[in-house]
Chains A and B, each alone.
Chain A
Amino acid sequence: TQICAVFRDAQKTTATHRKLVVNLRKIHETCCYEPTRPNKASNDFDEADFNNEFTRCVLRVMPVKKSEGAGEKIIRFAGLFLRHANDKDNDLLGENDVDASTMPETPSTRLTTQVMEAVLPLLTSKDKFVRFRSTQLISHIINSLDAIDDELFQKLRHGLLKRIRDKEAMVRSQAVLGLGRLAGNQVEGMVNSEDSDDDVETGLLERLLEVLQNDPSADVRRSLLVNLPILPNTLPYLLERARDQDPATRRAVYSRLLPALGDFRHLSLSMREKLLRWGLRDRDENVRKAAGRLFRERWIEDCAGDGQPEDGEAPAEPAAPSIEGMLELLERIDIVNSGVENGVALEAMKGFWEGRPDYRDAMEFNDHYWETLSAESVFIARSFNDFCRTKGNGKYEALLEEKLPEVTKLAFFLERYLNVLIEAIRRVNSQENVGDDEEEDTVEQEFIVEQLLHIVLTLDYSDEVGRRKMFALLRQALSIPELPDEVTKLTIDVLRDICAPDTAGEKEFCSVVLEAVADVHDTIADDDSAQSDGEDSFHSARSEASGDSTPTKNGKNGKNSNLSEEEAREKAVKEIMINMKCLHIVQCMLSNVQGTLQQNDHLVAMLNNLVVPAVRSHEAPVRERGLVCLGLCSLLDRPLAEENLTLFMHFFSKGHAALQITALQILTDILNVHGAQLLSANPTLLKVYVRALRSGSRNPEVQGAATLAVSKLLLGRVVTDQETASELLKTLIVAYFDPSTAGNQSVRQALNYFLPVFCFSRTENQDLMTSVALDALHALYNVREGIDDDDMDVGDEMASLNTIGACLVDWTDPRKCYTPGIPMDADKKNVNGDVHLDFAADILEKLNSNFTKEEKKVIAPLLGKLYVSPTSSEEKIRNLYEEVSSAVEENILSDATSRNALYKIHVSLGKIVNQLGEQDKMSTS
């Protein structure tokens, strides 16, 4: 019939659907309405026939596989037709019934009902494709039609609800598509209907949100993400998907959900920051790209545009570059907090400048700009400067040349804001009650100075006038005790940069910084002389022994008895503060010093007068900062490091967690700089590391720091002693799989990065891995045996031993290892495979040992996974072949899987040995 023909054509392409719908509707009308022009064909073909035929055709789609496009085309066609027919019927009814509460019955509603009733039972079909197509059809039709008969609607809804727990993800995906729309309608409906206390209705949304969080299939979650209504109560669930395990779902948050959301300013401040951070730092590049685009194309538009397109539609043309808009955008992401080091704003702006050449060109940094800096505007300048200097291989440098003032001028601006900052700090310090506004203002001033220093850090100091000006300014600033820590650090970084990079420059740098330290230290004395007169001689004596003035010694001094107790306490606190400040300056300086300690008198004096007394101080904060400085000094002087190794170890064993971490870091840096002889000379040091690696349950942070520390030692080939390296590597492998570290992401992620990098970077590392692999596996076997099945589900907590074995085989695969001179992607068929032959030999040894049957079952199958290369050393091939052959003969394995693995390697080796034999014959003949 004609209907049949229409369906036949509709499955081929959607392009003709419009036309076909109109055709089919003509037939439909002929069947259903009073024949306007009596036609012989329509007489014997009435509405019932039409409906039956339509339903019959629709049913034919049901068994069609998901992969066939024709199925979806027909379903879309059916939806399109029903919608068209309904519209036409309603037009024919006229306007009068529009606001009636009950739906009028029309030929189209009758057809819809018949089709739906026919398809409904198929929702629980045994065949998964029938369930898929029926769910797809129902969902599609629900989404196509404006209204559906209430009774039918309830049935459909009920049917779909069951399918959100279907075994097949594709079915759940479709069910969720239909219900998402319903959930939206219901919430809308509830607002303006009286009988809103319908539990079932709210239940739907809740159930869908539960699916959004829990469904194992990412497709289902993603399809919900883009189809659920965006409402105050769904939004948190939707945004949470920005951290979904599936990259495509995360990307959908940035490329679909958030653009559809409309103005980003409706989100909370912390949510904006989180979304930006998660997106721009995602592990998947496509997510990062989508987040970057969102920021520089949508969020800026919300601020720079005229705010008209509220409904989530992108404006046709991006608004012209607007500095105002940019300032607002930065304010809306709380730049004072997100713009600090490691904050996300720097990344966001890097992408912004990259993707918005219009803004790049429009920027103008004139004097007025610099004179009226705010946190936002200074960040624009700073990020622009960073971008131009680091991106595009210098092609943007000219832009800076053109737009940025010269060094001298910037120095003047910096001076101005430094003064403002110091004044603000002093004002706050001198007041009892500080208003929030003033506090906030200080924070902003501090931020401005920091950002200026970041710019200053990148400048070219070949201009002598500018260099001198900047140098003098920073030297002077460093003497101010109130200078905040971060500003101090940056100031010192710049000073190092301004001094020449050679040894002489370093000396100049140290002497200048240490002068400033002396100035800061002298403020203790200054204050004293201001407070109590007549004790000049005492004070000058003390300030000369600079650094030796720990508060406890002061307390012993009887001359202070005329001070009241409170004054004395205040003074002690002040001294601690000044001491801390001096140590901080020194610490920042030392992290910029490369040369040796002994060659620099300034440094030796500083060590003796400031650092050593601090380490002996009774005040914990002073002592701990002194420790870091001593550590930094030790990096510059090997004897000093050796002398103090025990001290650092002492801090590790006796300190609190943070101090333990500091001690570990110092020890590790020392080993890195001075070599592992220090480790072999101090057996207890190895114990420190092993203990720290196993400190998981008590101190997860320490375990994390230790993991990173040991990774550095191994990767940097600081530890080369076989026995030590084995011990450490084995401990790391066990820690990686041990269920006790499951919650410690620092450990897991560090090792997830380190272990493959370590193994694949050198053949020696793979050899080391092979030598400990089976020991580690044995340890993990015991760990797994030790888990009480009743307490927890082993499978949930720990990778299976098969998986662990597969990892070990993979890490030691010779084909994956970097070989100098051969590109990583080269075909590695003929690589030397000794490392896996060694692995096999170790396995055989264990199989011949007194291991339990169960454990042999774990390791034997690994034999089948090893790579047997014909280009391995002949001796190893022959030896292993002999061992394998005797293992086969003696039939040492009991289960089929193990035996098969053994046979497999036996065959692979056999082939190679035969070839070797033939070569021998050839050469002897």
Chain B
Amino acid sequence: PETAARQRKEKEPFEIDFASPLDFKMAETIFTPATSNATISLAKKDWKSKTRNLLPDDKHFNSQQLLSLFLKPKARMSSRRARFGSKIGAFGNA
């Protein structure tokens, strides 16, 4: 029952009451101007962005690059590994 009550509370839709007269608090919210332009404005340092909000060029690093040889990119690293391959495999399965 407790959760049901909470759910109902959340679902209660927001509605603007157009009929009632404007209460003081709301009028104050609407009509109070900002004390100064600065308090409602973006700080000057944020007017300019050094990077123009652009990404740097992507270099597209991936695991393939890290796991291959420079001179023989097609060859899997490496013959040394292959030699011990069986051992590592056995270890992994254990």
Residue-wise, chain B 34-69 has the 8 Å CB interface mask toward A (1 for contact) of 110101111100111111111111111111011101
Q: CB < 8 Å: which of A214, A668, A673, A749 contacts B47?
A: A214
Task: Tell me the minimal C-beta distance from B79 to chain A in angstroms.
Answer: 6
* Cβ-based interface call for B4 (8 A): no
Instruction: Please state if B30 and A283 are interface contacts (CB–CB under 8 Å).
Output: no
Q: Which residues of A contact B22 (CB under 8 A)?
A: 56, 59-60
Instruction: Please state if B51 and A749 are interface contacts (CB–CB under 8 Å).
Output: no
Instruction: Please state if B33 and A125 are interface contacts (CB–CB under 8 Å).
Output: yes
Residue of B nearest to A128 (CB): B40
Instruction: Please state if A166 and B78 are interface contacts (CB–CB under 8 Å).
Output: no
Instruction: Please state if A669 and B80 are interface contacts (CB–CB under 8 Å).
Output: no
Number of CB contacts from chain A to chain B under 8 A: 175
Q: Which residues of A contact B42 (CB under 8 A)?
A: 165-167, 172, 216
Instruction: Please state if A283 and B16 are interface contacts (CB–CB under 8 Å).
Output: no
Instruction: Please state if B59 and A746 are interface contacts (CB–CB under 8 Å).
Output: yes
Residue-wise, chain B 56-94 has the 8 Å CB interface mask toward A (1 for contact) of 111111110111011111110111110000000000100
* Cβ-based interface call for B14 (8 A): yes
* Cβ-based interface call for B26 (8 A): yes
Q: CB < 8 Å: which of A246, A592, A672 contacts B69?
A: A672
* Cβ-based interface call for A890 (8 A): no
Known contacts A125-B30, A240-B54; A672 and B18 CB within 8 A of each other? no
Q: Which of A118-165 contact B (CB under 8 A)?
A: 121-122, 124-128, 130-131, 162, 165
* Cβ-based interface call for B32 (8 A): yes
* Cβ-based interface call for B7 (8 A): no
Q: Which of A734-751 contact B (CB under 8 A)?
A: 745-746, 749-750
* Cβ-based interface call for B10 (8 A): no
* Cβ-based interface call for B19 (8 A): yes
* Cβ-based interface call for A245 (8 A): yes
* Cβ-based interface call for B15 (8 A): yes
Instruction: Please state if A591 and B47 are interface contacts (CB–CB under 8 Å).
Output: no
Instruction: Please state if B70 and A63 are interface contacts (CB–CB under 8 Å).
Output: no
Task: Tell me the minimal C-beta distance from B37 to chain A in angstroms.
Answer: 7
Instruction: Please state if A166 and B30 are interface contacts (CB–CB under 8 Å).
Output: no
Known contacts A8-B19, A283-B58; A125 and B52 CB within 8 A of each other? no
Q: Which of A43-79 contact B (CB under 8 A)?
A: 56-57, 59-64, 68, 70-71, 74
Instruction: Please state if B14 and A4 are interface contacts (CB–CB under 8 Å).
Output: no
* Cβ-based interface call for B29 (8 A): yes
Instruction: Please state if B58 and A131 are interface contacts (CB–CB under 8 Å).
Output: no
* Cβ-based interface call for A632 (8 A): yes
Known contacts A124-B40, A591-B74; A708 and B65 CB within 8 A of each other? yes
Q: Which residues of B contact A213 (CB under 8 A)?
A: 49, 52-53
* Cβ-based interface call for A289 (8 A): no
Q: Which residues of A contact B73 (CB under 8 A)?
A: 591
Q: Which residues of A contact B32 (CB under 8 A)?
A: 125-127
A596 to B56 CA separation, bound complex (whole angstroms): 43
Q: Which residues of A contact B74 (CB under 8 A)?
A: 591-592
* Cβ-based interface call for A920 (8 A): no
* Cβ-based interface call for A665 (8 A): yes
Task: Tell me the minimal C-beta distance from A742 to chain B in angstroms.
Answer: 10
Task: Tell me the minimal C-beta distance from A809 to chain B in angstroms.
Answer: 24
Known contacts A63-B26, A213-B52; A7 and B79 CB within 8 A of each other? no
Instruction: Please state if A244 and B18 are interface contacts (CB–CB under 8 Å).
Output: no
A918 to B16 CA separation, bound complex (whole angstroms): 60
* Cβ-based interface call for A757 (8 A): yes
Residue-wise, chain A 657-671 has the 8 Å CB interface mask toward B (1 for contact) of 000000001101100
Q: Which residues of A contact B55 (CB under 8 A)?
A: 243-245, 283
Q: CB < 8 Å: which of A4, A128, A167, A172 contacts B19?
A: A4
Other than the known A126-B32, A715-B67, what 11 A-B pairs have Cβ atoms closer than 8 Å? A56-B22, A71-B16, A121-B33, A125-B34, A126-B40, A130-B29, A214-B52, A216-B53, A245-B53, A592-B72, A669-B70
6 cross-chain CB contacts under 8 A: A8-B19, A11-B15, A56-B22, A167-B40, A594-B75, A752-B61
List 5 tightest A-B contacts by C-beta distance, closest first: A665-B70, A753-B61, A749-B59, A213-B52, A126-B34
